Each structure stands twice: as C-alpha cells, then as structure tokens.
Structure 1
C-alpha cells in the first residue's frame, strides 16, 4: 500500500462519518513526526448508537473500496479506534474527545483541509 492509499482511506472514512452526522471531523498528517501512522482522522459522536453507526459505516465503506482494518479497538466503548496501518481513525463521544484531546497531542502535525470532502448543510 502506498502513502496515497492512506489519504484515500482518510477521505473515505471522512465521507462515511459525515454521512452519519459525525461532528468536528479532523485529519492530522503526522508522518513527519512519528512512525506510528501517516494520518489520524478524529471525529465526535453524540451517542453510543451514533458512535457504533459511524464505526460500522467507516468499516463498510472502506471494505467496499478494498481496505480491511489491521485492528479495531473499543467496539463496545465510548472510543472506537480503527487501525488501517497508515491511517488511524478515532471516533469518540464528545466527553471523551474533550478529555483526551488527541488533537493537542499531535498539534505538531499538519492539519489537512477537508472542506471539499465534508457535506455542508
């Protein structure tokens, strides 16, 4: 898989989460500051039901595109992490996102402009 695939994975995940009304979706390119992954995609869900729906939709849409997760963590919790090696997708309930502030941990990364991917109301 190439680095272009990692950005494609992020874009597909963004569209999937946006279709389920995910909020505050952000993408941070971290390939220059860590070997863990190339991109973090972070989104907020307003309920456990929405969180599960978003995670399921991401997994479904990525599988449709030929991408399978390396690992999934927290499927029955308040924070789901879908690891696609070069792209790691975090979906958190609002309270957990505020508490963990993942964006602040990776603030040295490069925020990716996703305005052309998100559907505006």
Structure 2
C-alpha cells in the first residue's frame, strides 16, 4: 500500500477528532529524525475513551487497507502508540500527555493544528 504520509496523518487526526479526542495535533518531524515523518497526538478523557479512539482509528484506516505495524500500550490505555511507519499516532490520557509533553520534547517540529471543520478526506488507496 502506497500513501502520502501527510495525508495519512491528516486522515488519522480527523478520525480522532470525530471520535471526540481532545487537543489533536500533528507534528511534522520529517526534518528532525528518520524515525517517522509525522506524529499525531491526541488525548482521551479516560482509559475507555483512549481505547475507543485507538479502536476507531485502527478500524477506519483498515477499511482503506492501512494497518499498523505495531501497537503498544493498549492494555494499560494510558498512552497507546500506533505505528503506521511514517506516521506514528500517540493517544494519551490527560495526565500522561501532560507528563510526557511530546510537543515540548519535539519543540523544533512544525506543529499542524487540526481544523475539524476542514474537509480532510483523501484518497489514500
């Protein structure tokens, strides 16, 4: 499956936003590391919501034939990481997002705010 990483990051952000994730942001880290091109970061209100966000993202992207290479933290649901190769999605509960503060750690990244009203529908197939 070939896709443009920026489009995948936008699609993931939109899915999370529609499922009521809070503070959804995209960090463009492509010029800072070879680890990935984008981080998508979102916050759930509790462990059940964090898991629901991860489940929804995985389900919706799989409908387009996009599957994570790995998932970490699902059982604890404090910080779930879904690795889509060039796009890594971080879904936190509130206190852990505050504690790890990825936006501060990756302060040199370009922050892309997600506008839930903007149509981010892409053909990534």
Q: TM-score, structure 2 length as denominator? A: 0.87
Map of 2:63 onto structure 1: 64
In structure 1, runs of 5+ residues without a counterpart are: none
Paired position in structure 1 for 2:106? 106
| Equivalent in the alignment of 1:95 | 95
1:9 alignment partner in structure 2: 8
CA distance in 1, matches of 2:96, 2:114: 23
For the residues of structure 1 that align with 2:7 and 2:81, how far apart are their CA atoms? 18
Distance in 1 of aligned mates of 2:6 and 2:57: 14
Name the structure with the higher helix share: 1
Q: Please report the RMSD computed on the Cα atoms of aligned residues, expressed in angstroms.
A: 1.5
Unaligned runs of 5+ in 2: 119-125
| Per-residue Cα deviation, 1:14-73 (whole angstroms, up to 9, x for no partner) | 121112110000100001010100000000111111101100011011111111101100
TM normalised by structure 1 equals: 0.90
Equivalences, count = 117
- Runs in 1 of length 4+ with deviation above 4 angstroms? none
Distance 1:34 1:45 in 2: 27
Secondary structure in 1 matching 2:33 = coil
1:86 matched to 2:86: yes
Is the CA contact 2:24–2:113 (under 8 Å) kept in the aligned structure 1? Answer: no
CA distance in 1, matches of 2:64, 2:4: 11
In structure 1, what is the Cα distance between the partners aligned to 2:65 and 2:25? 23
